[in-house]
Amino acid sequence: MTKGSEDLLCVIEQPRRSCAFNKNASCYDRVESKRPAATAICKCEPQPKMDSVLLKGPTGTLALTVCAAAVGGTLQYGYNIAIIDAPTAHICTFINDTWRERRGTRLEAYQVTLIWSFVVSVFSLGGLLGSLLAGPLAVRFGRKRSLLLNNVFLGLSSVLSVSSRTARSFEMIILARLLVGINAGVSMNVQPMYFGESAPKHLRGAAALSSAVFTAFGVLLGQVVGLRELLGGESWWPYLLASGVVPGVIQLLTLPWFPESPCYLLIDRGDKEACVKALRQLWGRDDLGADMEQILQEQGRGGGARAKRPWELFGERSVRWQLLSVMAVSSAMQLCGNDAIYFYASSVFREAGISSDRVQYATIGTGACEFTATNLLIEHLGRRLLLIGGYVLMACWALTVDGMPYLCMTCIFAYILSFGLGPAGVTGVLPTEIFNQTARPAAYTIAGSLMWINFFLVGMVFPFLVSELGELCFIPFCAVCLLCSLYVGFALPETKGKTLSEITHDFDSTSPNAKLSRSP
């Protein structure tokens, strides 16, 4: 191999009559565009330098970037949803004992339930604050640095959690959950943006799906760590609540070594050299002409304008249906009730008749279901089909839950599996695919805010649904699943493998207004 062979822009393979390296091999000449057509290299020739380039390609640096960002990002979201279920009884006892020490009287059962519901739901209020912070942080500091700065909230939360029992203050637990919610809100918005802007078009869905995969893995990990044999016992629950700091430290040690979002570097900072360098690192190749052209086209559509603010998107007629679609899908992601299962899984299974000694293992099954499902289909099927199919299946499982304990448990597992097959993986990638660089942070802020508001409402209402409806507590979520599947079927075009201009054209031609204007 000649000296410049690692700088190939394209390779043309042509049959060759003989091979000096392997006489039995079927080999080809490789002619690269920078050289004269007569220059040929046999593919059997040792190519040590190309190996190092391949290791830095989409299966190398990009995969490591995804892992480094997600371990302190959406993994934290899933982890902190899951760990709050295991110490429910211990924290409720702590709340009651603390109140008795202060006031000399014990709380009524409904009062403990109300305080506990707020401990759980304040996580979503923190998420709302985090989603409002995410857009400005992503614009000012960039995607990668925002994720790193986000660990400040996580560190403060861990300190408060560990100190709460010693200080005899359940209010410290509430504040800790608020801070870890802010951390989750920032990461849930910034991380999909970072991945969607860093991955090549053919891997965009897979990169976005990784956010859902790490969320599901975080849920499973939190459920395992929360076992009584590990940190779920009465003596260890403060350390369980603080244990999320470990993935945060891993992110702080690894993510600084990886590049910033190429789109942010070129469009927001105007640094073409840094953009090219980041693309080479992430994609492992030098033939970036077409990719740079797409980014520059997106920059041109923005007209060099500043990033839009969330309220400005509501006045933009050109993105009206994109915004409505993101709002509908993001709201349905929480109003479908899936995440409420992780908060109150033990209560749901107890109400369904599962024996107490088996509840914690049934709870782990919910995390395993979503982790399995989120690894399967997003790059094999279109986004619309996954959303419609996922929500229709969820509606079916919500309707088939009945009074038999293990059938109820099976339906809950199927419900979560259906969520993981579609909505969990697709929802996060939509704002990246259907909005340009100037509108994208604002779109994520709006979507995230709606998601967390609905998360808070479901978190507050769900324990009362469980106590009143028992194993039928999922029936109210059935209507949400059906309505969202109908909206996606009528108003959301397919986005898989398309450029932003193609998606925008599809929205313009398939929106209800466009259909009405074409009708006689």
281-315 pLDDT, tens digit per residue, is: 887 766 666 666 666 666 555 555 667 788 888 88
**CB-hemisphere CA count at 13 Å for 351?**
22
> What distance in Å separates the CA atoms of residue 17 and residue 382, rounded to the nearest whole number?
44
**pLDDT tens digits, one per residue of 120-160:** 888 888 998 998 898 889 888 989 999 999 999 999 999 99
Last-in-domain residue among 31, 50, 69: 50
**pLDDT tens digits, one per residue of 398-445:** 765 555 556 666 777 777 777 877 787 778 778 878 888 788 888 888
Q: Are 334 and 427 found together in one domain?
A: yes
Q: Are 116 and 25 found together in one domain?
A: no
In a domain, 56, yes or no: no
- Tell me how far apart the terminal alpha carbons of the chain are, to the nearest angstrom: 66
Q: Are 250 and 136 found together in one domain?
A: yes
The one-letter amino acid code at 410 reads T
Return the closest-CA partner of residue 352 out of 395, 393, 396, 413: 413
**Which band of pLDDT confidence, cut at 50, 70 and 90, is reported for residue 471?**
low
> What distance in Å separates the CA atoms of residue 493 and residue 143, rounded to the nearest whole number?
28
In a domain, 309, yes or no: yes
165 has pLDDT over 80: yes
Q: What is the pLDDT of residue 56?
A: 44
- Yes or no: say if 391 and 336 are a contact pair by the CB < 8 Å rule: yes
Q: Are 216 and 252 found together in one domain?
A: yes
Q: Are 215 and 281 found together in one domain?
A: yes
- Residue-number span of the structural domain to which 28 is assigned: 3-50
CATH number at residue 494: 1.20.1250.20
42: β partners: 29
In a domain, 214, yes or no: yes
Last-in-domain residue among 28, 50, 72: 50
Number of domains forming the structure of the chain: 2
In a domain, 519, yes or no: no
> What distance in Å separates the CA atoms of residue 339 and residue 345, rounded to the nearest whole number?
10
In a domain, 228, yes or no: yes
Q: Are 32 and 74 found together in one domain?
A: no
- Yes or no: say if 416 and 401 are a contact pair by the CB < 8 Å rule: no
Per-residue b/e over 181-216, b at no fewer than 16 CB within 10 Å? bbbbbbbbbbbbbbbbbbbeeebbbbbbbbbbbbbb
Per-residue b/e over 77-105, b at no fewer than 16 CB within 10 Å? bbbbbbbbbbbbebbbebbbebbeeeeee
21 has pLDDT over 50: no
pLDDT above 70 covers a percentage of the chain that reads: 71
In a domain, 518, yes or no: no
Q: Are 33 and 110 found together in one domain?
A: no
Q: Are 105 and 43 found together in one domain?
A: no
In a domain, 55, yes or no: no
Q: Are 37 and 85 found together in one domain?
A: no
Q: What is the pLDDT of residue 426?
A: 78
379 has pLDDT over 70: no
Please tell me the pTM assigned to this model: 0.71
Q: Are 471 and 413 found together in one domain?
A: yes
Q: What is the pLDDT of residue 295?
A: 65
Q: Are 45 and 116 found together in one domain?
A: no
Return the closest-CA partner of residue 379 out of 486, 495, 484: 495
In a domain, 516, yes or no: no
Q: Are 159 and 44 found together in one domain?
A: no
303: β partners: none
